[in-house]
Structure 1
């Protein structure tokens, strides 16, 4: 990275419900990223640190319980601002419900985040899911993330967190779409489907993301 390029560290959804052993939607190897994330926070010279947080209301459209359906199945749900149209929605166990322990950042991470961390909450609209830290899945609503990055003069975004095949993927792709140089730290991401990770890495590279190791960004 060029010395003059301002860089942000973007921590994607490192929350209790995505971590074993007790998370309701735990990524099996999710805790493996924590030492790397802690190191990035301790040793990195970041111009901005951002932490995205899934913050779902009760009865969220992505919850299987909302529809009386089975988790990990898909159903059509109404498309916002397009009467009569639908989109396919993956259904999950209830997770990251506002005000619950599962919604909170992992305890060790909470201790290491400075007071100047920018927290970006997503998935707050009951009617639409939001994988990316930039916008919901239909691009109907945008989070403050793009404004925060531009206001800080950020050129490069370093992405870590959970999960590679969902929220990390869509966040990194959107980062590229918005014109940021986007680096994904391989040691500091894990996927729901570990077998699909290599395919996701290939897709990220097609969008312009760079796959790097932790030593490349420290």
Structure 2
């Protein structure tokens, strides 16, 4: 059984948003088309409380995209984004969410960031997604969404770690690309066993 995993297609990650992924909104029509062909559709939603520890504004003298050490390791600092209950945290208005059966909210614990659909950034605290998929006899995931080099990458790597087959649909993702991070993300995903395909191969 297969499922479509739509990662963080939210206003703040699209053009005009607080943490804009270049051309992030271009994935929306592709994902809408794909979702019609899947029985199971799952979404993730970045869902930060105000003053989240990953926000640069929570650390005196720090700027977005600097890194700091947290108890769980290195943390990139971000502009305030996807704050709970704000328009920026909403899904893109053109994204068809009708077929979505599960929404995994992440990043809602103030002291820890969360990129992956499976784990918080401490690599220990689970979201429960792996158990949900196994209960549904789903063994194959098709990953789409934002951003290639952060939440998509970590979701893919953790999905593989949890022994799911993972395909990444390259025309349905976009990246932030900090100093070559998109190319590095692709290398990491493919080395870990992810398969790279296009939407036209599925449709």
Give the Cα–Cα distance (whole angstroms) in 2 for the partners of residues 73 and 65 of structure 1.
11
Counterpart for residue 77 of structure 1? 70
Query: SS of the residue aligned with 1:159?
Result: strand
Query: SS of the residue aligned with 1:107?
Result: coil
Alpha-carbon spacing, 1:115–1:41, altered in 2? closer, same or farther (3 Å): closer
Matched, 1:52 2:37: no
Spell out, residue by residue over 1:138-160, the C-alpha distance to the aligned partner (whole angstroms, 9 max, x if none).
12311021122111110110000
Matched, 1:18 2:10: no
Structure 1: segments with no counterpart, 5+ residues: 1-5, 80-86
Counterpart for residue 3 of structure 1? none
Matched, 1:199 2:184: yes
Counterpart for residue 96 of structure 1? 82
Alpha-carbon spacing, 1:124–1:54, altered in 2? closer, same or farther (3 Å): same
Give the deviation of 1:116 after TM superposition: 5.0
Give the Cα–Cα distance (whole angstroms) in 1 for the partners of residues 168 and 51 of structure 2.
32
Counterpart for residue 40 of structure 1? 34
1:98-177 to structure 2, matched below 5 A, reads: 98-109=84-95, 112-114=96-98, 117-177=101-161
Give the paired residue count.
Answer: 201
TM-score (norm 1): 0.88
Give the Cα–Cα distance (whole angstroms) in 1 for the partners of residues 68 and 4 of structure 2.
35
Give the Cα–Cα distance (whole angstroms) in 1 for the partners of residues 151 and 182 of structure 2.
13
Give the Cα–Cα distance (whole angstroms) in 1 for the partners of residues 147 and 137 of structure 2.
27
Query: SS of the residue aligned with 2:27?
Result: helix
TM-score (norm 2): 0.94
Moved more, 160-169 or 187-196: 187-196
Spell out, residue by residue over 1:183-216, the C-alpha distance to the aligned partner (whole angstroms, 9 max, x if none).
0000001110184423321221100000001122
Query: Are 2:5 and 2:42, in contact at CA under 8 Å, matched by a contact in 1?
Result: yes
Query: SS of the residue aligned with 1:108?
Result: coil
Structure number with bigger Rg: 1
Structure 2: segments with no counterpart, 5+ residues: none
Give the Cα–Cα distance (whole angstroms) in 1 for the partners of residues 151 and 7 of structure 2.
7
Query: Are 1:48 and 1:152, in contact at CA under 8 Å, matched by a contact in 2?
Result: no
